[in-house]
Structure formats: structure tokens, C-alpha cells
Amino acid sequence: KKVQFDVDTLEVNLKLPRSYEVNKALQIELPALSWEWTARIYHRPYPKDTTWTVEPPFWPEGDVFVSYLPTVSQKAAKIEYYLEFENYGTGTVFQIPEEPVVMRFKGRVPAWALLPHIIFLFIAMIFSNLAGIMALFNHDRFKFWGIITLVLIFVGGLIFGPIVQKFAFDHYWTGFPFGSDLTDNKTLIMFIIWGIAVLANLKRNMPRLTILASLITIIIYCIPHSLRGSEFDYEAGEIVTGMITYFKGFL
């Protein structure tokens, strides 16, 4: 989450992460503040209505002021946090951002798993559009590109997807029928709808199904990634499916 605000005449631009690796302390940097200003990080487990933990004030380190969020070892655990600024001279106090940032922790995903996952699904989107456009004009090759799209979704989403999730959150699959993870379910829906379109077009000419599959794919790709994903339940002590609150406040 990017935020921009002013501390007196100083313009501050901050990037407050919503995702971070386990077992690593997150450093947050501020430009050097004048002597009468202090800033602190407040954080607590999410979603829990507990007392906020306050970190020591930001301290100078080189040309910037720094503070740290504590390390978290539990994958899929979430915390919410914000920064509080206080002017000792005037008593002015304000919070940045107004709504605390919710951050989820994940394990490190190796490049050999993550890159194919991203690349295959990105190319699948391109070929899905190509197949849909060709089907719209009843071009002979729409069937071929439909098959390629299906294969890419299978490899990128149903092979590398679970591998990525295992590294990140210790679960291979949390969509239907084992859970309601939206990312997994989106992948499953795309695979099913493209499977239907490809099979239906093997012996017959049904471009409308390919057009429908292409449109559904566009809609699915417009849904924010991991909107509903793995979340550590502090009460139950296990990972469940939760809500990633990119739209906290109106979801």
C-alpha cells in the first residue's frame, strides 16, 4: 500500500507491504524527521480485537529513521499495523494510514516454481483472448488455440499453482472441495470451462463456447489475486480460508 502525507513541510512517501516472508523482520524507513516529531509502529494479530503492541520510536540510521515489525514464523498468519506520528511541541497526533494495513506472511517460494506459474498463466490469458477473437470470426484455428490455452492453465494453475501454495502456505490446494480459496477456485473454473469448450469443439464446430470461455477468463483475471486466501486462525491454531482485505471497509 502506497501512502503520501506531509509532516510539517516534509513530504513523505511510504510503501507499506501487505505481504511479507516469515522469519524476517520488516524494516520501515522514514525520511529524517525534525526533533519535535516522533513516530511509532502499532501492530496486532489479525483478525483479533486485542491490545495494540507499540514498537520503540523510529530512530536515526544513516540518512533515514527506521523501525521494525517483529518476525512472524507462522505461514498465512496476518497482522494489522499503522504508524502514529506525534509532535511534542504542539501535541498533534495523527495516524497513517487511516485504516490499518493488513499484512499476510508467507514462506519463500523458489523461482523455479513461481516463474513458470506466472508465465504459463500470463500466456494462457493472451491465448485465451486470441482463441476468443478467432472464434468470434469463426476462424479455423480457434480450436487449436483453445487447446493450447487449456494446457497452459493446467500446467501453470493446476501443477505449478499447488506447488507455489505449498511453499507459501503449507497447503497444496484449499479450493473446492477442500475449502473456499478463491484463487484455487478461479483456476478450477477456468480449467473446467476451457475443458468443456475444447471437448465440445473436437468433433463439432461450436465457437460460441470458446467465446464464452474467453469472456469468463477475462472476468476471472479481473478479480484481485488472493482476494480470498489462506489465513491462520489464531483461535483454532490452524490455517483456514480467510479474506484478504484489499477492499477493507466495503467488502
Q: Give me the DSSP letters along 211-232.
A: HHHHHHHHHHHHSPTTSEEEEE
Give the pLDDT confidence score for residue 226 in this predicted structure.
61
pLDDT at residue 182 tops 80: yes
Range(s) within the chain of domains with CATH label 2.60.40.10: 2-106
Tell me if 74 sits within 8 A of 214, measured CB to CB: no
Q: What is the signed CA dihedral for 211, 212, 214, 220, rounded to 10 degrees?
A: 160
Enter the DSSP assignment of 73. -
Report the amino acid identity of residue 57.
P
Q: What number of other Cβ atoms are within 10 A of residue 248's Cβ?
A: 13
- Which CATH code fits 2-106? 2.60.40.10
How far is it between the farthest Cα atoms of the chain? 79
What fold, for 111-243? Formate dehydrogenase/DMSO reductase fold (1.20.1630)
**Span 10-21, average pLDDT:** 90
More confident residue, 233 or 147: 147
> Is residue 228 very low, low, confident or very high in pLDDT (cuts 50, 70, 90)?
low
Taking the model in full, what pTM does it have? 0.80
Range(s) within the chain of domains with CATH label 1.20.1630.10: 111-243
**Span 160-165, average pLDDT:** 95
Ranking 104-108, 186-190, 240-244 by mean pLDDT, the lowest is 240-244
At 213-225, the pLDDT tens digits run 999 999 999 987 7
Give the pLDDT confidence score for residue 248 in this predicted structure.
39
Q: What is the three-class DSSP state of 180?
A: coil
